[in-house]
Every structure is written in structure tokens, then in C-alpha cells.
Structure 1
Amino acid sequence: MTAAPRSGKRAAARPFARVLLSLLAAVLLCLPFGAAWQYHAYRQAVARQEPVPEHAPEPAPEAGKNPGSPAAALARQPRPSGPVVLAYHDVRPDGHSPYTVTPEALDAQLTALADAGYTTLTSAEFTRYLRGGRVPARSVYLTFDDGAQGLWQYADRVLAAHRMRAAAFLITGQVGRRHSYYLSWDEIRRMAESGRWDFQGHTHDSHHRATVDAAGHRGSALTNRLWLPGAGRRETPAEYRRRVVRDLDRSVAEMTGHGLPRPTVFAYPFSETAEDSNLRPGEPSPQRLLRQRFAVTLTNATGSALPPGPRAAAAGRVQRLEVTARTGVRELMEGIAEWTPVAPGAVPRPLRDPARWRLRGDLATAGGVRPGSLAGHGPLPARRGCLAADYRSIGSADWTGYAVGATAAGLRGTGNHTVLTVRKGSRHPLTVYLSRDRVRVATGSPARLRTAAVRELAPASRHRLRVLVGPGRIAVRVDGSTRIAVRTPAGTPASRTAGGIALGICTTGARAPWPHFAALTLADRRPATTPDGGR
């Protein structure tokens, strides 16, 4: 009577066991596929980092041991007074874009910077400098635009090897998309945790070119009113403002929402600012919208020199030195030497620094002329005209108090003269034209010159000129006796009077020879003193 029920229980248990075994088999069968899927998802989120290239160039010898090395040449430059901002994009070994730098090239460049005694700045250190803070005498701010995945996969390990830091400028709308090119948020998180990277603004979804008029011309979506084909018109200024504000605020929110500090620096897409746009005066300015959200903006192209310093701080915009696939170590070191802000007193004999002069004008390439031609040490153009050159136009952008001494020679007849410009590149330049028997002082740009004074001189083939530059006044002296003073308009900010020097030699007479500068000196002046030495 009891056997039947037991047999029934065993029979009832068999289907349950078969189901359990089937489930276990299914789980075991799916485990490899699940693990593979999880690994794939992980790879999509965090790519494998590559080590520093094994075949990267050997570190350059110390500057003192190899005087001919690029690092040594940079180390011999006058002690700089401010940083240089370098603009990179992607880093990867197989890039076909001219803006992609290989890991080997990046490693060689950072090696040379380290050998020349340079340190790297964080974004916080850089913005503090613009507000008047101090940074190491030799420093660079490394910036990488777009947020390409190569920063995590290749550049991060190179930075780690050199114990350097950098800033990545994110197009937040692209993060996590097209992961073969752009960073993921997980990679960004790991980079931030390393302490080597901070992350800054580069728009959410405005880093592209779009149609800006009925003819189909295209321009940066950030800095242009876009064409609305459905309406047959451009955006109104109000529509443009709403779109840009929405984009910038979304970009900031994406970064802070993923645990990053609020960005303080912004890099213009394509380096195109309002000067490159179809916006008209009085319409919403992208620079103004950006300054409401960021401490400073960066671009690789400006209408005037804006290296890090007072002038750039006042404008809220800083110019960067761009590094591309074609930039070798020597070219980079030369660029940094040219762009590094220096004080006037650091280069007391600028004519002995021919590499820092840049010829300009129609005669700049005529007859193999070179900067030494201004001092009578090189070939001169065969045709008549003016040969001009600027000195350290970027490195001198913030000069405000300095003295220039010059000796003009070879002044004969009425057909030749020399030219000295101070505050070059500022809104208030002053130019001195010196001939055999006359000195003329003019203010304003070459296109809008205004004569401030003319004085007759005792005729001579050589005259000594001294120009004392201050933020409020410029004093001009010729041969120690002739004096001309030109005041700056009251209330002009010092940043608008900052600028360096330029020289020119001109001959227009049929038989007049070329003049030249027999001497040129530079010296610092205390900002507290007036240009003529008074108090």
C-alpha cells in the first residue's frame, strides 16, 4: 500500500530535474557569450592603453652637453616672463590627418621641453596666471582639442612617462559616440583620476560647419548665424543667441553631470572667432557669451598678437602655437622661443638677434634680403621702396614701459629715411620717420596715420634717436636736443597701449642710397615713472 506513492513522487521529480539540468546547461552554454559581450562592452568603454613607443628617439642630451640641440638653443634664450600655449589635436600612430601627431613625435617633443627645463601647467594654474599669478619661468600649457580617443590610448602614457599634465577640450556631444575616434566617459573619468588631465569646453554639438547663406557657403556653427532653408532666411540674432546659449550650457552640464569640475577655459572650434563670422556689430557676440561662462577663450588665429599676458587677459582670448604632423622638435623649439613673452631688458641688443625679426611688405622677398639688411649687413632690394621688419611681435605684445635707442645712418639727400615704430600691434602705435634734415612723428595704424609733430633738424647723414615709452605718454628725442611728447588719450587702459617695436628703411629718390640702423638698444623702464624720467 505504500510503494505506489513513493514511485509517484520519484516520477513527479524527474521532470523538475530535467528542467533544472536544462537551465544549468543553458547557463553554462551562455556564459562564454555573456563574458564576451561584457568584454566587448568594456572595450567600447575603455580601450587598451599603449605603452610609450619602444623605438621612440632617445632623450636629447642635456642642454649643456650638446650646445647644438634644439633644447639647448631654447635653454639659451633670455629668461622668459610667461608661458606659451601649445595646441595639439589627436595622437595616434596611424593618423592620416595633418593634425594628428604620432606618439613618437609627442614623446620627442616632451623630451626636448623637459631637457630645456620646461614644466607644464594645469588649467587652474594657467587662468591664475592671467589674473596676475605667478608660474615657473619656463612653462607651457598643453592643450588637446576635440577629445579624441588617442589621448587615452597613446598620449596619456607619454605624459605619465614625463610627469607632465595637459588639458583636453571636449565636444561633449561626441563623447561615447564613434568610440573608435572619440573618448568615452569612462576613459575621461580614469584620465581625470590620474591627475594628469583636466577637461575644458569645446561646445556640445557646434563643432561643425553649416550653411550660412542662400549661396550655400559654410562656416563654423558656433560663430555664424545659420541659414534656415525651410524659412528661406538666416537665423535672427535672437535665434542665434538661444541656440548658442543652449549648446554651451548643455556642454557645461554634461561635464559637471559626469563628475568633472566646471570648465573654465574654452577653445574655439576651427579657431574661428567672431572676426570670421557673418555676425554684424551690435548682434550677439560669441566672445561675450563665452566670457559669461568661461574665464578665457583660446584660438590659434587672432587679429593681433595675444600671447598669455595682460593684453590677452583684458581681451579674454589667448593665442596658441599649433602643433601638427609636420612640426618637428626643432620647429617646435623655435616656435616656443619666438612666442615666449620676454621683457625688453632681456634683449638689450635686438639687432644681434636676427632670427627673431620678421620681414614684411612688398620687398620682404626681393633680392634675398634678410633682417640684417636693416643694419647694413645684408643684400638690399634692387628696386626702390621700403623694407620693414617686426621684432618678436608675439613675445613683445605686453611691453608697456621701455626705452628704445637707435642710430640712423646713411641719410643722404631727400629721398631716403628710416622708420621706427613703438607699441607695434597695439591700438595706439607711434611711428618716427627720420631723414637727413627732418623728423616726423605720427600716430595710428599705417592705414590711418595722423601726423602728431614735425621738426627740422641740422642736416646730417647720421642722427641719434631715443624713444621713451610709457602707458600714458611717449617722449621722442633726436640728437639729445629735439624733443617731442605725445600723450595717450586719457582713460586708455594700459593693455591697449602694449606692443613692441618695428624698423623700416626706405629709399624713394632716383639716386638716393639705402639708409640703415647702425645701432639699436632696448631697456626696461619702471611703470611708475613718466616717459621723460619725471615723477
Structure 2
Amino acid sequence: MGKLRSIFWIPLLAVFFAAPAWGSGTEHVVPILLYHRFGPVARDAMTVRTTVFAAQLEYLRSHGYRVVPLKEVVAYIRGIGPPPPPHSVVITADDGHQSVYTDLFPLVRRYHIPVTLFIYPSAISRASYALTWDELRTMHDSGLVDIQSHTYWHPNFRTEKKRLAPQAYAKFVAMQLERSKATLDKELGIKVDMLAWPYGIYDEGLMRDAAGAGYVAAFTMVRAPAGPADDVMALPRYLVTDQDAGKAFGRLLKTNSR
């Protein structure tokens, strides 16, 4: 499998000619895939079996898709970077579950692909199910893993807005957005500037608050490809489940035309 490590970065013209054309006109759209947990069995709706994930990566490789860094797609959408290569796809994982290190990361290294993790730092090195700071540092130091914010403790903003008075809610939102960035920056020596909305919940006020807190892009769970026509503070992602195997995974990738 070692010979496959750089396969996503090498132009394979014969394969690309057979791959689907995405987007229309001059607009490029890219599917951003969203994962949460991995394991030997799918114990819940958010867990993808590790064997299924490995098969999905092999599908991408064998069908001429290129896994590209999320930051490159965001730069293009913001108008400050070039279009992504043909047949690009992005891989992200939310929350910071232990299986990201034990199951996802070995495959990331095997296939030599970039991924982005959206982390809520209140759980790191504290919750039994969560990653540790050392594990995050190891992944970041590989050069393949970008780490970004998922707020500080993954709140339901819709519930909190109903529960709190307006001033208290504003302070709560600011804490969730700012403390997450500050903690990740300090612990990992990075500069966080992207955000995944917990539960995919967002509104106009939250988008303004996120931009004011220094985020340049934010992500939802709307099942659509991301492109310049989207609001950069509410970019869509495809939630991948254990059912997205084989032909179902191929169908998911082919729904990204506009």
C-alpha cells in the first residue's frame, strides 16, 4: 500500500478523463465530506466502520478523485485563491473522538491525504471518549491534519437563545467562539480561523458574531457541494454515514452538480 501514498497528488490523465465533471461554467463546486466517529461496528448513526472508511478512500483513489486541503477550497470561495483541481473532494471530522486518532489517522498517513478536524477543546484530555492534546499535536505535526474550531463545548445555540436573556446569550456566544480559538491556538501553536457550527445550527446573528470573532469561514451540515455561490459563513458539507458504502458512496459524490 506504500506505493499509493501520494496517489491523490499525481495527475492520472486516463483516470481523470473517466471521472465526472463537476460544476458548470466557470464555477467550481467541491463536496466536503463530514465524519464523526469510527470503529469496528456502527454503534450509532454517527459512527462509520473503519473498514467502510478505508473502502471509501480506496474508491476516491481508484476513481480519480483528489483529496485537497479545506483551506484551499475556502481560499477559492473567498476569491483569494485559484480554483481547486478537477475532481477535488475535502475530508473533515467533527468533535475530536478518540477514534479519529486510532482509526482515521493511520489511514490518513497511509494514503497521504489532508484532513481538517473541527474540535471543541473543553473535552480534550478530559472526557474519556475524546482525544488528548498530545494526540492532536502528533496529528498536526504530521503536516496532514489541520485543526479548527467547533466552539468551546458544542452547545445547541437554538436552545441557549431561548433559555438566556439577550445580553447573557450574546456573552455566551462570544465565549464559545473566542475561547475555543484561544485555547486551540495556545495549546497547539496554530492560528484557528474556521468554524463548524454545532449540530449545523446557525443564523444571521451567529454568522456575524463568528466573523467578528475572527473566523473567515464556517460550515453546516447541508448536503450540497460548496462553491462561490454559497455564503462563506455557512458552507455546506455532506454528513457521511456507515450506509454510504460502495455504490451509495459513488452516488453521494455524483450529487454535487449545479
Question: Into which bin does the TM-score normalised by the smaller protein fall?
Answer: 0.7 to 0.9
Structure 1 gap ranges (5+): 1-62, 66-70, 209-219, 228-233, 275-283, 340-394, 397-535
Quick one: distance in 2 between partners of 1:82 and 1:117? 16
- Runs of 4+ more than 4 Å apart: none
Structure 2 gap ranges (5+): 1-11
Aligned length: 241
Aligned to 1:190: 138
Contact 2:244–2:252, Cα closer than 8 Å, also in 1? no
Aligned to 2:168: 239
Sort the Cα spacing of 1:64 and 1:333 in 2 relative to 1 into closer, same or farther, 3 A: farther
Percent identity over the alignment? Answer: 25
Determine which structure has greater relative contact order: mean sequence separation of CA pairs < 8 Å that are 6+ residues apart, divided by chain length: 2
Contact 1:123–1:265, Cα closer than 8 Å, also in 2? no
- Hey, which of these two has a bigger chunk of strand by percent? 1
Quick one: distance in 1 between partners of 2:139 and 2:45? 25
Aligned to 1:328: 245
Contact 1:169–1:201, Cα closer than 8 Å, also in 2? yes
Aligned to 2:59: 112
Quick one: distance in 2 between partners of 1:137 and 1:189? 31
Quick one: distance in 2 between partners of 1:119 and 1:64? 12
Aligned to 2:208: 288
Quick one: distance in 2 between partners of 1:124 and 1:164? 14
1:125 corresponds to 2:72: yes
- Which of 195, 204, 226 aligns to 1:266? It is 195
After TM superposition, give the deviation of residue 98 of structure 1 in Å. 1.4
After TM superposition, give the deviation of residue 288 of structure 1 in Å. 1.1
After TM superposition, give the deviation of residue 115 of structure 1 in Å. 1.1
Flag the structure with larger Rg: 1
- Hey, which of these two has a bigger chunk of helix by percent? 2
1:138 corresponds to 2:87: yes
Quick one: distance in 2 between partners of 1:225 and 1:247? 12
Question: CA offsets per residue over residues 374-417 of structure 1, 9 Å max, x none?
Answer: xxxxxxxxxxxxxxxxxxxxx22xxxxxxxxxxxxxxxxxxxxx
Quick one: distance in 2 between partners of 1:188 and 1:178? 14
**TM-score relative to the length of structure 2:** 0.85
Sort the Cα spacing of 1:300 and 1:75 in 2 relative to 1 into closer, same or farther, 3 A: farther
Q: Which amino acid aligns with 2:146?
A: D
Quick one: distance in 1 between partners of 2:159 and 2:76? 31
Aligned to 1:33: none
* Secondary structure of the corresponding residue to residue 258 of structure 1: helix
Alignment of 1:304-343 (within 5 A): 307-312=225-230, 314=231, 316-339=233-256
Contact 1:170–1:200, Cα closer than 8 Å, also in 2? yes
* Secondary structure of the corresponding residue to residue 101 of structure 1: strand
Contact 1:82–1:137, Cα closer than 8 Å, also in 2? no
Quick one: distance in 1 between partners of 2:21 and 2:161? 47
Contact 1:223–1:286, Cα closer than 8 Å, also in 2? no
After TM superposition, give the deviation of residue 196 of structure 1 in Å. 1.4
After TM superposition, give the deviation of residue 178 of structure 1 in Å. 2.3
